[in-house]
């Protein structure tokens, strides 16, 4: 009975952590967006040439597919395009969502998105690993772990928090390495999320959730999302090296994989509906200048 109760408490804590991460991201995004509503974004007054040409430091890493004509995704917007202190926070969070979000060129029959080559997949991993949101999330996770005394051998106080912060940062870096670079390279998989952006809310929600199972090959066709499941599992196994108090065995590892996939599903839902949030508060976003049907 005691073991069963402890098992349920661990599951509840895992779900609680996932929910807190998503709520943290959503609340900062919505809070900053409300602040930004009072001042128009600088992109509204930009010239058409500025809108369609990516800035010199653009994060967009797509390259032309030499085998067939392809369409480049719209360029990433700059966080400087957001006005006000809270709005800049929205810009930083928005770029985290948009970096791995693309919209299939539905407006041009037969066209496919340009693929990412091996170098670009590595750059995508590196950009995610050093993103400010990654460090914020690591600090948040370390605080929760310290409060719950996870990894008790780390101790408490500043030293314990520092160890937990480093471990959380390593968790995210290894997860992004496996999901953005290693397994996408092995399976010729596109690590980006293909935003539907059309149809009813239920259809789009199902599309976002199903990305945990259905991904895209480099040529745009659908495939099983190997990088999501193998990448999450690899990160969980690797984490046992620097989390000395992790429970070993199949059941604890399976729970951690479930938590990781659930967290990614939450971010994919935010990626799917980010254009609506951006339009509502007149914020710049990646698909703003895409041709309309």
Give the tens place of pLDDT for each residue, 236-284: 999 999 998 888 889 999 999 999 999 999 999 999 998 888 777 766 6
Residues 15-48, buried b or exposed e (16+ Cβ, 10 A)?
Answer: eebbeebbeebeebbeebbebbeeeebebeeeee
* 218, part of any domain: yes
Q: Which domain holds residue 73?
A: 2-280
- Domain contains 287: no
Helix (H/G/I), strand (E/B), else coil: 230:
helix
Q: What pLDDT score does 274 carry?
A: 86
H or E segment at 10?
helix 2-36
Does 246 reside within a domain? yes
Helix (H, G, I), strand (E, B) or coil at 19: helix
Indicate the number of domains in the chain. 1
Query: Whose structure tokens read 């539907």?
Result: 196
DSSP string of 58-111?
Answer: --------TTS--BPPPPPPPGGGS-SHHHHHHHHHHHHHHTTEEE--TTSTT-
Residue 144 is assigned to a structural domain of this protein: yes
Six-digit token string for 222: 């659908």
Identify whether 225 is part of a domain.
yes
* Most confident residue range from 36-40, 133-137, 180-184, 289-293: 180-184
Residue 135 lies in a domain: yes
pLDDT reported for residue 3: 47
Q: Quick check: is 228 in a domain?
A: yes
| pLDDT tens-digit readout, 102-138 | 887 765 666 778 888 899 999 999 999 988 889 988 9
Question: Which residues fall within 8 angstroms of residue 198, CB to CB, at 6 or more apart?
Answer: 106, 204
pLDDT tens, residue by residue, 71-99 = 877 776 665 666 655 666 776 777 788 88
Per-residue pLDDT for 197 more than 80?
A: yes
Q: What is the DSSP pairing of strand 193-195 with strand 101-103?
A: parallel
Write down the pLDDT at residue 158: 93
Q: Does 156 have pLDDT greater than 50?
A: yes
- Among left, alpha and beta (phi > 0; psi -120 to 50; other), residue 110 is left
Average per-residue pLDDT for the chain: 76
pLDDT at residue 86 in the model? 63
Residue 290 in any domain: the answer is: no
Distance (Å, whole) CA 58 – CA 45? 19
What does the angle CA 224 – CA 227 – CA 231 come to, to the nearest 5 degrees? Answer: 140
> What percent of the chain is predicted at pLDDT more than 90?
40
CA distance 182 to 124: 11
Statement: residue 20 has pLDDT above 80: no
Give the Cα-Cα-Cα angle 218, 130, 142 (nearest 5 degrees).
Answer: 115
């Amino acid at each position: 009975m005691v073991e069963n109760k402890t098992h349920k408490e661990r599951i509840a804590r895992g779900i609680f952590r996932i929910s807190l991460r998503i709520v943290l991201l959503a609340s900062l995004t919505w809070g900053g967006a409300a602040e930004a509503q009072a001042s128009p974004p600088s992109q509204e007054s930009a010239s058409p040439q500025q809108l369609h040409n990516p800035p010199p430091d653009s994060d967009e890493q797509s390259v032309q597919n030499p085998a067939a004509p392809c369409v480049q995704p719209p360029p990433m917007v700059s966080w400087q395009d957001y006005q006000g202190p809270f709005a800049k926070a929205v810009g930083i969070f928005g770029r985290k969502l948009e970096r791995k979000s693309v919209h299939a060129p539905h407006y041009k029959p037969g066209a496919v998105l340009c693929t990412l080559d091996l170098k670009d997949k590595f750059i995508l991993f590196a950009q995610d690993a050093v993103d400010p949101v990654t460090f914020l999330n690591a600090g948040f996770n370390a605080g929760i772990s310290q409060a719950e005394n996870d990894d008790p051998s780390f101790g408490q106080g500043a030293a314990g928090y520092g160890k937990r912060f480093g471990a959380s940062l390593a968790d995210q870096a290894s997860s992004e390495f496996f999901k953005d670079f290693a397994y996408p390279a092995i399976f010729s998989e596109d690590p980006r999320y293909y935003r539907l952006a059309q149809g009813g809310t239920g259809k789009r929600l199902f599309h976002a959730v199903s990305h945990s199972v259905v991904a895209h090959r480099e040529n745009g066709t659908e495939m099983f999302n190997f990088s999501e499941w193998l990448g999450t599992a690899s990160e969980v196994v690797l984490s046992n090296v620097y989390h000395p108090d992790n429970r070993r065995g199949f059941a604890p590892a399976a729970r951690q994989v479930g938590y990781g996939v659930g967290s990614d599903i939450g971010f994919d839902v935010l990626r799917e509906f980010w254009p609506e949030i951006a339009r509502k508060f007149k914020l710049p976003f990646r698909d703003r200048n895409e041709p309309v049907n």
